[in-house]
Amino acid sequence: MNLNQIKYVLTVAEEKNFTQAANKLYISQPSLSKSIKLLEEELGITIFERNPVELTYAGEIFIKKAKKIIAELNDLEIEISDISSENKSNLVIGIPSHRCYCFIPKILSDLHKEFPNCYVKIEEYPRFILKQMLDEDNIDFYLGTENPDNSIYKEEHICNEKIFIVYPKSWNIECNLDEIDIREFKDKNFVIFPEQLALSRYIKNLCEENGFSPKAIIECHNAETIYSMVNEGLGASFLPELFLKFFPQKENVCYKDVKRQSG
């Protein structure tokens, strides 16, 4: 079996006619028929019923596998071409949405100056979904917190980032310092991220370290949505420094660094 025979079978299956398939392949119909007949004899199966041309059960299985083989070969050709030209033509970046807003436009501006033909796809999902996509080789790299297994993946540190508590100004919590005692919020409502997210675990652990469990009344994935809910006075939450730095300040939102308890 060779690659030409695989392409011949796929073309006949597509055209459902040996003559039309031969014309499409620019070979004679007898040559096409002979090549497929030899393949059937080699494999010990019948791929096509003749008159009319239809796939057998074995032929259907062959087609499924053949399509995967051709797809893999096409991917291989693209990757080898990228390597030989030192220019990756397709790049898939996995990044949470709020970090995408902060980082990606500036990064891509520089990238496209050096690689103007590079096609970039952005996958904006929560960290646990992006980690799975990285494991399944559906993204080229992940940009965010909580590094994947560094025994498998190479990692690069970009920057340090604080986590701030955000709360409605309308609560009238008096604090003239840059830091605030989180115990001020032990009886307040919280808007939280799902427990799969690192930030959710951070909130829970930080509150428990200060002697209380956060009173969660709303849960959602999106940092922008949480920001708006805090602005509406629905609860307090925690958001990354980069988010608060790049997103417009909302009128009813106050944010502070959390005062660490001594001892």
Is a pLDDT exceeding 70 seen at residue 45? yes
**Locus of tokens 């940092």:** 223
Stretch among 24-33, 172-181, 195-204, 245-254 having the lowest mean pLDDT: 195-204
Which domain CATH number covers 62? 1.10.10.10
Q: Residue 185 class from Cβ within 10 Å (0-12 exposed, 13-18 middle, 19+ buried)?
A: buried
Of the three residues 63, 84, 105, the one that is the final residue of a domain is 84
- Per-residue model confidence as pLDDT tens digits over 167-223: 999 999 888 888 899 899 999 999 998 887 777 888 888 888 888 988 999 998 888
Model confidence over 90-122: pLDDT tens digits? 889 888 776 777 778 878 888 888 777 788 898
Tell me if 62 is assigned to some domain.
yes
Q: pTM for the complete prediction?
A: 0.53
Q: Dihedral through CA 182, CA 159, CA 122, CA 73, nearest 10?
A: -130
Euclidean distance between CA atoms 145 and 246, whole angstroms: 17
- Domain hosting residue 100, numbered range: 87-142
pLDDT score, position 80: 66
Region 47-52 average pLDDT: 88
Q: Within this chain, do residues 66 and 113 fall inside the same structural domain, yes or no?
A: no
For residue 133, what pLDDT is reported?
Answer: 86
> What is the number of structural domains in the chain?
3
